[in-house]
């Protein structure tokens, strides 16, 4: 820590804050000899890391966090991202509860610890956050799709409550928290959330930017524009791109069968996306001074006030999400809403969006924010150079605006970057796939959905799992999905309208489908595969076996979605029922699917009627693995507070469920 002579006087905290730390720490990649975490503060901090054995009063490790181990990125006048990656002087003991602290130099001999500046991150009885580093993966939490203004509860808060009950039990704690996509909704923002984002930008002085080929010149004009709330589709310039960009980018597209796009408050600037991350992951920014309700017409004002109730509910639970991510090693990967809906859906989508400077900047800004807030912590070593370049970008701020040419050059570099996928070197390995930026594009039918991974990326994936006895695969989109829904998507694609039904699944592209299925069935790949997915806004479990082949592999497709999102309930029940009828084991339709060589068997969620396979309740997925990497328990921790187990055997319909009231009671109890 610096000497008294080196210390500078601290600037006053922004009104409403009682701590210099705005968000975090979020515990990221943890190895026996290395620990990475992420936090944001109102000034650059001098930190000291301490690690404690189970119930030990003194740390077994205490070392200053050097400048080389903590890259500080100034994203605003009073906002500094700290990317902390410490090579440890002593190894972390395995399979035991490890307390950790980050002490901030405040002039006192010991400095302030997490209990002083972020007490909301501690469970009752704790003096500091804790984690467990596993020799063998045991219990995993996983989930995707956390939409702040959805009417459901927050699955992150539910998982936090679940962990609170076993916080002191090293054996019962989860090994990892895997967030498998749509950690934020950059493209689908409630009016009150966008207004709060703007207040955070003002209070923290987040840096603005200059915009190109739009009627708005910079981020300041965007804030004052009449369409900044509920009208951002009108900000596109009147060019030959306009119709295509409006359809592909800002939404407003009706999506029969699935949903209605709602992107009228799509984030545009980098500052807006960064502020959204702060609000999604910490209660502290919500304490900053709020902006008053904007001037809206009567209809829009009614929408705004209805959304306000949901945003208020989200705010009440966000502290629990922060505590969960401070207490469990957390790994993440993007899906489309982290950037924009249907991101890189097809070659035509890419040509249209990246061909215009304004939409290219919007996508690029979300990717810069992903690097700073999500991507870096998965693989700090691989992304070190990109992080340095991001620091150079913010180092060139003049007059509160990012340098336009440097920003565009950095975005170009990110759009070309190949390396967002990663491996967590546990037993079994966790292989996290990038299904968004390395796509198998159709050059002949440019409207046709691209394959989720190209040949080279799939080959690298195969190399990562060769000769492994077992593997946990994170594929944001399920490899084995609901056949009927995939059939509907294929039908709309055949008519040239893939955007209408989010036609993104592994089976939508013949080449990618063939390769991924061959990899899973290869003799030298793992005997046991667990595939964790999200994306679809409902949860289900399949086990998969090759037909006419004994001895494996054994594959489990486990899908948990969403953390704070759900599918339209009646529509999902209808699709579930139709899928059971049309694709029953005896149905000849199965032989027209690309998975006809595989026998796909559903597991059944408790509290559903006999035969129903799809579970529609916001929450967090839970998987318990044995030493061979096979799941021994699969459940959904429902945001409502209940738990739903998935079982191989179909539940027997109880007589009491024959009445409508009883059936509603069963469904309600699980929700």
Compute and round to an integer the Cα radius of gyration of the chain: 24
* Structure confidence at residue 581 (pLDDT): 73
**Interatomic CA distance for residues 184 and 274, integer angstroms:** 10
Check whether 89 has a pLDDT greater than 60: yes
* pLDDT of 462: 94
Rounded to an integer, the average pLDDT of 330-351 is 92
Percent of the chain with pLDDT over 90: 66
Least confident of 461-470, 501-510, 516-525: 501-510
Q: Which of 101-105, 205-209, 570-574 has the lowest mean pLDDT?
A: 570-574
pLDDT at res. 20: 94
User: Is the confidence at residue 300, as pLDDT, over 90?
Assistant: yes
Q: 610: burial class by Cβ within 10 Å (0-12, 13-18, 19+)? A: exposed
Q: Is the pLDDT of residue 618 over 50?
A: yes
Interval 421-452: pLDDT, tens:
999 999 999 999 999 999 998 877 787 889 99
CB of 62 closer than 8 Å to CB of 88: no
- Nearest CA among 212, 145, 240 for reference residue 566: 145
Task: Decide if pLDDT at 495 tops 70.
Answer: no
> Which of 582 and 561 is assigned the larger pLDDT?
561
User: Does residue 484 register a pLDDT over 80?
Assistant: no
SS3 assignment for 464-521 = HHCCCCEEEEECCCCCCCCHHHHHHHHHHHHCCCHHHHCCCCHHHCHHHHHHHHHHHC
* 159 against 395, higher pLDDT: 159
Instruction: Give CA–CA dist 157/316, Å, rounded.
Output: 10
Question: Per-residue confidence at 546, pLDDT binned at 50, 70, 90?
Answer: confident
Q: In the structure, what pLDDT confidence band is assigned to residue 664 with cuts at 50, 70 and 90?
A: very low
Counting residues of the chain whose pLDDT is more than 70, the rounded percentage is 85
Mean pLDDT of 565-575: 88
Other Cβ atoms closer than 10 A to 182: 29
Nearest to 31 by CA among 81, 98, 83, 115: 98
pLDDT in tens, 622-660: 999 999 999 999 999 999 999 999 998 876 554 433 333
Range from 62-76, 287-301, 337-351, 599-613 carrying the lowest mean pLDDT: 599-613
Q: Which residues pair with 50 in a beta bridge?
A: 62, 101
Question: What CA–CA distance (Å, rounded) separates 164 from 295?
Answer: 43
Residue 347 in this model has a pLDDT that exceeds 60: yes
Higher-pLDDT residue of 512, 10:
512
Asked whether residue 663 carries a pLDDT value surpassing 70, the answer given is: no
Give the pLDDT score at 95: 94
Residues 278 and 200 sit within 8 Å (Cβ to Cβ):
yes
Cα(425)–Cα(379) distance, integer angstroms:
11
At 119 the three-state DSSP class reads helix
CA 326 and chain centroid, separation: 16
2-6, 207-211, 400-404, 482-486: lowest mean pLDDT where? 2-6
Question: Taking residues 282-311, what's their average pLDDT?
Answer: 95
Residues 480/327, Cβ–Cβ less than 8 Å: no
- Residue 336 and residue 343 in contact, taking contact as beta carbons nearer than 8 Å: yes
Decide which of 355 and 158 is more confident: 158
Q: Tell me: pLDDT of 666 over 70.
A: no
Categorize the per-residue pLDDT at 241 as very low, low, confident or very high, splitting at 50, 70 and 90.
low
Question: Can you tell me the distance from the alpha carbon of 429 to that of 431, in angstroms, rounded to the nearest whole number?
Answer: 6
pLDDT in tens, 118-157: 999 999 999 999 999 998 999 999 999 999 999 999 999 9
**Residue 590 vs residues 501, 581, 585: alpha-carbon distances, Å:** 22, 12, 8
Q: Answer whether 76's CB lies under 8 Å from 40's CB.
A: no
Report pLDDT for 6.
Answer: 44
549 band by pLDDT with thresholds 50, 70 and 90: low
Strand-pair partners of 35: 30, 86
Predicted local confidence at residue 509, as pLDDT: 74
Average pLDDT over the chain reads 87
Q: Which residue has the higher pLDDT, 109 or 564?
A: 564
Does the pLDDT value for residue 270 go beyond 50?
A: yes
User: Residue 214 has what pLDDT?
Assistant: 81
Structure-block tokens of residue 208: 């603005």
CA–CA separation, 222 and 235 (whole Å): 9
Give yes or no for residue 252 having a pLDDT over 60: no
Structure-token match 């299925």, residue found:
517
Q: What is the pLDDT of residue 352?
A: 87
| Per-residue pLDDT band at 336 (split at 50, 70, 90) | very high
What pLDDT is attached to residue 548?
65
Q: How is residue 100 written in tokens?
A: 């950790």
Q: For residue 272, what are its two tokens?
A: 């807006």
């Amino acid at each position: 820590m610096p000497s008294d002579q080196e210390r500078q006087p601290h600037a006053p905290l922004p009104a409403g804050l009682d701590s210099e730390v705005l968000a975090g720490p979020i515990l990221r990649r943890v190895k026996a000899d290395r620990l990475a975490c992420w936090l944001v503060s109102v000034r650059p901090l001098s930190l000291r890391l301490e690690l404690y054995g189970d119930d030990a009063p003194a740390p077994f490790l205490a070392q200053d966090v050097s400048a080389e181990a903590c890259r500080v990125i100034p994203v605003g006048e009073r906002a500094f991202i700290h990317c902390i990656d410490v090579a440890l002087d002593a190894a972390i003991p395995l399979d035991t509860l490890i307390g950790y602290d980050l002490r901030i130099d405040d002039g006192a001999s010991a400095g302030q610890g997490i209990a002083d500046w972020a007490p909301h991150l501690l469970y009752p009885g704790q003096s500091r956050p804790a984690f467990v580093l596993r020799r063998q993966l045991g219990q995993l939490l996983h989930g995707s799709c956390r939409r702040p203004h959805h009417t459901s509860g927050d699955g992150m808060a539910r998982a936090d409550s679940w962990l609170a009950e076993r916080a002191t039990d090293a054996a019962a704690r989860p090994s990892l928290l895997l967030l498998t996509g749509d950690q934020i909704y950059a493209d689908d923002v409630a009016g009150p959330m966008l207004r709060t984002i703007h207040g955070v930008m003002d209070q923290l002085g987040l840096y603005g930017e200059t915009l190109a080929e739009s009627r708005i010149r910079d981020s300041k004009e965007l804030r004052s524009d009449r369409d900044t709330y509920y009208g951002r589709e009108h900000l596109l310039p009147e060019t030959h791109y306009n119709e295509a960009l409006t359809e592909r980018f800002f939404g407003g597209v009706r999506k029969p069968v699935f949903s209605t796009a709602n992107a009228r408050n799509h984030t545009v600037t980098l500052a807006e996306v960064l502020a959204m991350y702060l609000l999604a992951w910490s209660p502290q920014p919500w304490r900053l001074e709020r902006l008053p309700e904007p001037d809206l017409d009567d209809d829009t004002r009614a929408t705004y006030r209805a959304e306000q109730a949901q945003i208020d509910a989200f705010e009440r639970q966000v502290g629990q999400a922060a505590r969960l991510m401070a207490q469990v090693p957390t790994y993440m990967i993007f899906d489309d809403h982290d950037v924009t809906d249907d991101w890189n859906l097809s070659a035509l989508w890419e040509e249209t969006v990246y061909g215009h400077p304004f939409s290219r900047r919007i996508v690029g800004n979300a990717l810069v924010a992903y690097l700073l807030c999500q991507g870096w912590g998965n693989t700090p070593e691989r992304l070190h150079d990109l992080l340095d370049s991001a620091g150079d970008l913010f180092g060139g701020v003049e007059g509160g605006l990012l340098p336009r040419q440097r920003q565009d050059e950095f975005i170009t570099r990110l759009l070309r970057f190949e390396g967002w996928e990663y491996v967590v070197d546990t037993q079994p390995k966790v292989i996290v796939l990038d299904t968004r930026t390395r796509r198998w594009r159709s050059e002949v039918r440019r409207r046709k959905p691209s394959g989720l991974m190209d040949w080279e990326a799939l080959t690298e994936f195969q190399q990562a799992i060769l000769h492994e006895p077992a593997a946990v695969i994170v594929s944001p989109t399920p490899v084995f999905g609901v056949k009927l829904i995939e059939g509907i998507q294929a039908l709309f694609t055949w008519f040239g309208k893939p955007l209408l039904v989010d036609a993104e699944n592994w089976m939508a592209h013949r080449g990618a489908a063939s390769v991924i299925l061959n990899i899973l069935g290869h003799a030298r790949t793992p005997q046991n595969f667990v595939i964790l997915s999200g994306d679809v806004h409902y949860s289900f479990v399949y086990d998969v076996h090759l037909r006419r082949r004994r001895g494996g592999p054994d594959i489990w497709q486990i899908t948990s979605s969403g953390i704070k999102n759900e599918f339209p309930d009646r529509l999902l029940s209808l699709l579930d029922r139709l899928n059971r009828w049309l694709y029953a084991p005896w149905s000849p339709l199965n032989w027209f699917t690309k998975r006809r060589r595989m026998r796909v068997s559903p597991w059944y969620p408790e509290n559903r009627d006999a035969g129903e396979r799809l579970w529609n309740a916001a929450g967090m997925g839970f998987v318990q693995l044995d030493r061979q990497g096979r799941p021994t328990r699969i459940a959904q921790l429902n945001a409502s507070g209940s738990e739903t187990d998935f079982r191989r055997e179909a539940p027997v319909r109880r007589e009491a469920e024959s009445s409508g009231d009883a059936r509603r009671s069963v469904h309600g109890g699980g929700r």
